[in-house]
Chain A
Amino acid sequence: MLRVSVVRNRPAFLLEATFAAPTPGIIALFGRSGSGKTTLVNIISGLLAPDAGEVRLDDEVLTDTRAGIAVPVERRRIGYVFQDARLFPHRTVNGNLRYGEKRARGAPQIIGFDEVVSLLGLAQLLQRRPRQLSGGERQRVSLGRALLSQPRLLLLDEPLASLDAARREEVLPYLEALRDRLAIPMVYVSHQFDEVLRLATHVVLLEAGKVLAQGPVNDVSLRPELQSIVGPDLVGAVLEGVVTRLDPQHGSADLAVGTGTLQVSLRDTPLGSRVRLQLLARDVILATQPVQGLSVRNALASTVISISNDDYGAVLVQLDVGGGEIVLARITHSALKALNLRPGDAVWTLVKAVSTRGHAFRLASDPPGKC
């Protein structure tokens, strides 16, 4: 468990954040730039001191201003992957990787040099200098260097922010592999919800130095506060399901979600794997009667839980699609009026298979399987 409860007051910025998140897992600090994410991460690392408050990792107190405890950064064993990589320019990739490894002797070993090199695909880069690396390669080396310091916690401050889409795709799979194979808890700072969707197990929503919401990704995806950060188009419920049927020829798969089944477009994901996907609220269609002759692949019998105005002139409808699984639909006021929806009503929730964004997702604590 990572518990953080800190205050840091500066003329231009007040950070007042409290959260607790289970470990291992990836805790996402999600918010707009300037919301205090980096400050918070720096406080956890010890690079910044809070004016008041405490930081605890499992049973250990790292910072406690009242008790006068502040474990020095170099003794925290918290790895830090900076946004700008910060590789040592006078050392080769090998020299950078060995830097933390050498200083972690005596600490319980989590991962070895060879494993890091193969996990992050660094074998070809070892003799190079940092300036000879691409942005994505730099971040992979930075990640490897932090891992070899055998950290109890890994902080990643927007490690993909300085990369273009192609380079991001070069690093993301490695992060997923880390999450799935190692039990190192991570704090992942991001302002991109798709990264959170792919990586996080727990989300802390930050805005103007305050925690707006926190919890598992699927819970937070339903919170109205999220909409003010990601905008109306990216709001959507996050669901988790298991692949029960594959149709590789047509690139589709069936997912068992709650008590129902969802047909989604999905490739390269083996049978039985856990998949997390987001159904964007704007893509979800509601019908009061069974429909025919539509291309929509999914029609889920559901119950309206709540109806609320969103901040953008439309309506957000929360639906139970069976087994407590919740889906959000964003519809116009006139549609609401035409359907005359009320909480408790039975409706059909229509979801196009191609409008889902799914990612294979597995935790180190899950039973092993092909993934």
Chain B
Amino acid sequence: MNDLPSSAELEALRLSLEVAVRSVGFSLPLAVLVAWILTRARFPGRMLFDVFVHLPMVLPPVAVGYTLLMLFGARGPIGEWLRAHFGIELAFTTAGAALATAVMTFPLMVRAIRLSLEDVDRGLEEAARTLGAAPVDRFVSITLPLMLPGILAGAVTAFAAGLGEFGAVITFASNIPGVTRTLPLALYTAMQSPTGDTLALRLAVLSFGLGLLGLLASEVLVRRVRRLLGR
């Protein structure tokens, strides 16, 4: 591996991107739903649900990875069921890395979306109602477009954060080259190797660059969309 540093870098980069994309793809629809529930729905135990959703933010990532292993591992209740019925294996796979990443970045995404939903003027939804729009129609034609800046911000932030998820991924999906060895895992591995100094430096710089690019892109995107929405 050390004789082909550039290919290891590229592989880690490709894996990181794949994991981040898949994780955002998983969690985005769910995050919109959860944000909607947390903002608009009134039910007993709402606060508990709120806390539960935000739990990954304060838990050690390793604990999250461990919990996922317990639930989705080959012998975990959900993991076993998934394998028996759909032939899906999550532990120690790229999809598993994406799941761990999704769980870790989920609160970040929900927060951004929720803020934008709280910003949506209920009066506009009322106006849509008087114009004959039923609930789903109202959500799709008014609420969702007005939430778009938050949804985009949430998605891009979660994507950027997902590129670098370490603890939960390594615990749940392990550190398998070409399968789950994403950028941070490759960086960690290089640091452990006596000859990996240059590779580690290059991976670190790459990580910085990606993070910077991600946040900048998010800013630009959100501004554009806001203008498009007439804010």
A interface, CB within 8 angstroms of B = 45, 47, 72-80, 82, 84, 86, 88-90, 99-100, 103-104, 129-131, 145-146, 149
Contact = CB atoms under 8 A, between A and B. Distances in A.
A134 to B, nearest CB: 15
Interface of B: 121, 123-124, 126-134, 137, 141-142, 145-146, 228-231
12 contacts: A47-B126, A73-B129, A74-B132, A79-B130, A80-B127, A80-B130, A86-B127, A90-B229, A99-B131, A103-B131, A131-B230, A149-B130
A77 B133 CA distance: 11
Contacts of B229: 89-90
B154 to A, nearest CB: 18
B127, B134, B146: residue with the most chain A Cβ atoms closer than 10 Å: B127
Contacts of A145: 131
Nearest to A105: B132
Contact of B146 (A86, A90, A103): A90
Contacts of B230: 89-90, 129-131
A86 B123 contact: yes
Given A100-B132, A131-B230, 9 more contacts: A47-B126, A74-B129, A74-B130, A74-B131, A88-B142, A99-B131, A100-B131, A103-B137, A149-B131
A104 B137 CA distance: 13
Contacts of B231: 89, 131
Contacts of A73: 126, 129-130
Contacts of A131: 230-231
Contacts of A89: 124, 146, 229-231
A165 to B, nearest CB: 26
Nearest to B121: A86
Contacts of A103: 131-133, 137
A45 to B, nearest CB: 6
Contacts of A45: 130
Nearest to A91: B230
A99 B131 CA distance: 7
Contact of B145 (A47, A86, A90): A90
